Amino acid sequence: MEHSDGMLEEFKTFVVQAAQPTVYYIPDFISEDEEAYLLEQVYKSPIPKWTQLSGRRLQNWGGLPHPKGMLAEKMPDWLQKYCDRISSLNAFSGKMANHVLVNEYKPGEGIMPHVDGPLYHPTITTISMGSHTLLDFYKPLSSTQGPGAPQTEESRYQFSLLVRPRSLLVLQDHMYQTLLHGIQLCHQDTLTDKVLNLPSAAGAAVVGDTLTRGTRVSLTIRHVPKVIKTKLFLGKK
Ligand SMILES: O=C(O)CCC(=O)C(=O)O
């Protein structure tokens, strides 16, 4: 798996120091006008572009990541702009983002804890729109506690990050390689002292407050290192 060499120096002020290495949380990365425009483009996409999964629906742009290489597809201009903008922050160690997942979560929806794995350069960048969510982080299942040892999601839970609409979240290093991330399937989020980026994300909210979810649309922008540029060689050894 590739290594990340960090974001531009001026973004170091956005590191969430209380979390494990490395999280950048950048509030208001996009403007309200950009958010409205992006949401319009997402919902203007043809219906077959959507894949309905349990707990969310998604659009895949740039190609389908595959161990043998992603057959690259042209990124639409409205997403290319943000691939370029985030790549210019050195989020992908000088490489260019070439893949975007659009996830839509209605209130009550979410995503099971998972790692993104070796098909991507080890950096996740996410622009959030429409609503906040809480992203929860978990230790991986431990092999050292012996087979049969109970390892509930609750016991593996580490902490959460509050992601507000228009923010950019960047996860690298241990946060990418080791910890699992997920979003609870619920309608409301209560802020606790386990939400580690409250100083920059809470606004007027404080620990103990409950935030009601609306529909959230996220753009997960990543770099897929292994790309096949032509269909010609598909299926050949
Ligand atoms: O919507 C998000 O912020 C998380 C998305 C995610 O984890 C994924 O698509 O793998």
| pLDDT per residue as tens digits for the range 144-161 | 666 666 689 999 999 999
Report pLDDT for 3: 65
Contact predicate 95/88, CB 8 Å: no
| pLDDT per residue as tens digits for the range 75-91 | 999 999 999 999 999 99
Spacing, Cα 135 to ligand 1 middle (Å): 9
Domains annotated for the chain, with CATH where assigned, are 9-140+151-227 (2.60.120.590)
The angle at the Cα of 73, spanning 68 to 76, to the nearest 5 degrees, equals 145
CA distance 33 to 236: 46
Judge residue 110's burial from the number of C-beta atoms within 10 Å of its C-beta, 0-12 exposed, 13-18 middle, 19 or more buried: buried
Spacing, Cα 230 to ligand 1 middle (Å): 28
Tell me the best of 162, 164, 183 to mutate to test the pocket of ligand 1, counting ligand atoms within 8 Å of each CB and taking the most: 183
CA distance 96 to 84: 7
Q: Which residues line ligand 1 (CB under 6 A)?
A: 101, 103, 111, 116, 126, 135, 181, 218, 220
